[in-house]
């Protein structure tokens, strides 16, 4: 019989942007880095808009109020890419 303890704590501690990457630190000590190009609603944002984020969803999500954009740590760990908001222009890659 295998006994498993609680899973890793994937709540978000910090968010930053480095070069062309979105970098997220998790409560369990891991860091996730994904290309900002994966998230079309963040890609064309200004530095000020990107810096205005808040932790949401009981610690498992990130919300950018200026951009009406939400990402989750689970989605980032799965490699899920963002979807452009309908009718909202995005920057060309």
Question: In this structure, what CATH number is given to the domain that contains residue 30?
Answer: 3.30.2020.40
Total domains in the fold of the chain: 1
Q: Is residue 21 part of a domain?
A: yes
Q: What is the pLDDT of residue 93?
A: 36
Report the DSSP beta bridge partners of residue 22. 17, 34
pLDDT score of 85: 75
Tell me whether residue 51 is in a domain. yes
**Residue 92 domain-assigned (yes or no):** no
Measured CA to CA, the distance from residue 37 to residue 34 in angstroms comes to 8
The total number of residues shown for the chain amounts to: 93
Q: Which domain holds residue 47?
A: 12-78
pTM score over 0.85: no
Mean pLDDT, 10 residues at a time, the chain of 93 residues? 75 97 98 96 95 97 96 96 72 40
Q: Which pLDDT score is estimated for 84? A: 85
Q: Does any domain span residue 74?
A: yes
């Amino acid at each position: 019989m295998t006994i498993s303890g609680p899973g890793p704590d994937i709540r978000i501690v910090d968010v930053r942007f480095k070069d062309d990457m979105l970098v997220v630190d998790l409560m369990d000590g891991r860091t996730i880095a994904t290309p900002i190009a994966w998230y079309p609603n963040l890609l064309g944002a200004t530095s000020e808009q990107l810096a205005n984020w808040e932790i949401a969803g009981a610690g498992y999500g990130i919300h950018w109020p200026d951009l009406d954009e939400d990402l989750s740590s689970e989605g980032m760990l799965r490699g899920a890419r963002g979807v452009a908001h309908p009718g909202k222009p995005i920057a060309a890659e």
